[in-house]
Every structure is written in C-alpha cells, then in structure tokens.
Amino acid sequence: MASYQPQSEQWLHARDDTEGLDGTDGPMPDQAGQPEPAPRERIRPPRPAPADLAEQMLHAHHEYAPAGQVPDGAPDPRGHPAERDSEELWAMLSYLGVIFLGFLAPLAIYLAKRGTSRYVRHHAARSLNLSITGTLFNLSALIIGGMLALDTVAVALIIVVPLATALWLTTLVYLVRAAIAANRGEQAGIPGWLCVPMIK
C-alpha cells in the first residue's frame, strides 16, 4: 500500500529537481546551455566638433544672406579693393555720361566692360536702358508737337516744351542718384516706366 506523502514534501522534491549542481536556482533542463540575449545598446551619431559646427553655421549664414548683399566674412566677388574702386568709377561714369553724350557713353562702357566686370556691365546696361527709354519719350513728344504744329505752333510749344522739360529733369534726377549709388557699390531704384529693361 502506497505511503501517504504530505503536499509540502512533494513541492520540496519538485523544487530540488530544478536546482543546479551547486545548489542554486538554475535554468530548466530544456533551457540549459542557451546563452542569454545581450542587452541592446543605443547607437548615437558622433557629435560634430566645435570647429565643424561653426563652419556649418557660417555656411548657413552665407546661404540665406539677403540678395544683393555680401555676407559677413565672405570674400567680395569683385576682388581687390583697387579693382572695386575702378569698377565703381566706371559704373558711375556710365550714368553721368548720359547727361553729356546720351546713350553713346553707356553703350561704349557696356561694350568695353561686359566681358570683364559683371558689376560695370549691370550698371552700364541700366544707364543704357534709361537713356534709350528717355530718347523714345522725347521722340514721342516731338511727334505730338509736330502734329499740333500743323494747327497752331503756339499750342504745340505750350504742350510739348513743358512735357519734354519735366521728362528731362526727372531723368536727370534719377541719373544722378544712380551714379552716386553706383560709386558706393549700391544700386538706386529707377521706375520701370523710365528704365525699360531692353538690354541686360
């Protein structure tokens, strides 16, 4: 007849079967010999050096600099200071030459400097467009005056002379302003109706 064994002793024998050889709690027999998975390590990208970070910030500043302005620390595309002064002088003369020689002065500067200086070419083209637009307005005023003169010369003079004078004075003001700005390395605004961009 089988002997009665208390439940506590049955639990104790079951626990002994799961212990290791050294008496400590070990893995179950079906898991023995299997290595435990290594903990995952978070891989972080290397931090940029302070010099690299400063260079990236400098490039970002250059990239988003306002149009028409040279960013701080960037080399001036016009090169040496003496070369910049020469280009600014030619740009100023392209505007002032219109007062004495009409469109011939900016045209000569444009043809001479268009392949060597983008700065002079830009201002010479603007002054040339301004002089050509003014010449076309003057021709239109003369045509209107000639048509009015067929009826009465006095009426033609009363209408055409003030109109041509106002046009010339307006052109003169913008020529002087543009010449001063070009000599400073800047650009003065000119209305589109007075400076039609025909030549670039």
Joined together, the tokens standing for residue 198 give 């025909």
If you average pLDDT over residues 28-37, what whole number do you get?
A: 52
Say how far apart CA 11 and CA 22 lie, in whole Å.
20
pLDDT tens-digit readout, 116-157: 999 999 999 999 999 999 999 989 988 998 898 888 888 888
Residue 155 in domain: yes
CA end-to-end distance (rounded Å), the chain:
118
Residue 94 in domain: yes
Residue 18 in domain: no
Contact status, residue 174 vs residue 188, Cβ threshold 8 Å: yes
Q: Please give the distance of CA 191 from its chain centroid, rounded to a whole number.
A: 23
Residue 119 in domain: yes
The answer on pLDDT for 99 being more than 50 is yes
Query: Which pLDDT band holds residue 40 (cuts at 50, 70, 90)?
Result: low
Residue 10 in domain: no
| Residue 25 DSSP symbol | B
Residue 126 in domain: yes
Residue 134 in domain: yes
How many Cα atoms sit within 13 Å of 96 on the Cβ side?
A: 11
- pTM more than 0.85: no
Residue 106 in domain: yes
Q: Which residue has the higher pLDDT, 52 or 155?
A: 155
Number of domains in the chain: 1
The answer on pLDDT for 20 being more than 70 is no
* Residue 149 belongs to domain spanning: 81-183
